[in-house]
Amino acid sequence: MDRDSFQEALLSVMERKRHWAWRLFTDGTVAADRLHIHLEHEYAVYIRDFAVLLGRAYVQCPIAAARRELAENLYEEETGKLSGGRPHAEMFLEYPRGLGMALERFEAVELLPAAVDYRAEIDVSTTDLGWDVAAAVTTLWLEGTEYERGELDPHASKRPAPPLSEHPLVKHYGLPLERLALVRAHRMVEGDHRRAAWTVVLDHVAESRRDVVLAAMGRMHDAWQAYRDAVAIACGLTKPA
């Protein structure tokens, strides 16, 4: 598989990172007293440990240029020193704090079975399958969105960046604007992180390993869909027939 075909196959996976319930999470449909389920799961499944997951890719990587890109991302996630001055996982907790949720919930989240399976897939992908799979899963899949083509093609749709006052947690659930520190941080650094992620994977994954990386990305997609189904149902939503 040549580089262009690899890029297109990766973009195809990312463009399927859509879920039927997301509109219902962003338009206020989810009851306020169920929203904690979603936030707890996102935190416990990957946000709390994202710097560690990135670190797994970093320590396995034998390519200095790729390590440097991973190190910058890791530094920002762990410290926030390039943006908001705090670790990103810590800034995430401003959401439940601002919504008046019990933060004790976030210290010992009881994961749904599909969430356990998704996290297990993340762990296998970041520990057992090589640095290249770990880098793709963390920097492309976990950090990326369905708008990744816009990071590579100036003519493609970009990730939306509406005014902070239109953020769903502010608009529908009353989150104070000052609690959006993580959104502000992401907007400061995410463009560079997206470009770095694609550079690492496209420029440094060996041609002989491209199929392996794509297979892992496909498994992540499937596990994520099942995970998001389970969380949506637990939040009181009904999956369309």
Determine the pLDDT at residue 225. 98
User: Which pLDDT score, from 0 to 100, does residue 14 have?
Assistant: 98
**DSSP-assigned letters across all residues of 53-118:** HHHHHHHH---HHHHHHHHHHHHHHHH-TTTTSS-HHHHHTHHHHHTT--GGGGGS----HHHHHH
pLDDT of the residue at 235: 97
In contact, 175 and 167? CB cutoff 8 Å: yes
Q: What's the whole-number mean pLDDT along residues 109-119?
A: 98
- 40-80 residue pLDDT tens: 999 999 999 999 999 999 999 999 999 999 999 999 999 98
**Contact, 28 vs 172, CB < 8 A?**
yes
91-100: average pLDDT: 97
- Euclidean distance between CA atoms 84 and 98, whole angstroms: 17
Half-sphere exposure of 35 (CA within 13 A, CB side): 24
Tell me: pLDDT of 121 over 90: yes
Residue 82 clears pLDDT 80, i.e. is over it: no
Residue of 13, 56, 16 whose CA lies nearest to 214: 13
Average pLDDT of the residues in 116-128? 98
Q: How many CB atoms lie within 10 A of CB 8?
A: 12
Tens digits of residue pLDDT in 179-236: 999 999 988 877 678 899 999 999 999 999 999 999 999 999 999 999 999 999 999 9
- pLDDT of the residue at 192: 78
Of the two residues 174 and 240, the one the predictor is more confident about is 174
Task: Report the distance separating Cα 226 and Cα 235, nearest Å.
Answer: 14
Instruction: State yes or no: pLDDT of 83 exceeds 70.
Output: no
Alpha-carbon gap, residue 152 to 11, rounded angstroms: 10
User: What's the confidence (pLDDT) of residue 197?
Assistant: 95
Tell me, what's the pLDDT at 193?
80
Phi-psi region of 82 (alpha: psi -120 to 50; beta: other; left: phi over 0): alpha
Q: What is the pLDDT of residue 241?
A: 79
> Pick from 155, 145, 152, 163: which is nearest to 202 by CA?
152
Tokens of 220: 């992540």
The CA distance from 94 to 181, in Å, is: 8
pLDDT score of 217: 98
Contact between 139 and 73 under an 8 Å Cβ cutoff? The reply is yes
Task: Express each pLDDT in 157-186 by its tens digit.
Answer: 989 989 999 999 999 999 999 999 999 998
pLDDT at 191: 64
CB 141 within 8 A of CB 63: no
Number of residues that this document lists for the chain: 241
Query: Under 8 Å CB-to-CB from 91, ≥6 apart: which residues?
Result: 80, 84, 181, 182, 185
pLDDT at 119 over 90: yes
Averaged pLDDT, 108-129 = 97
Domain 3-234 carries which CATH code?
1.20.910.10
pLDDT at 203: 97
Tokens 């637990």 correspond to 234
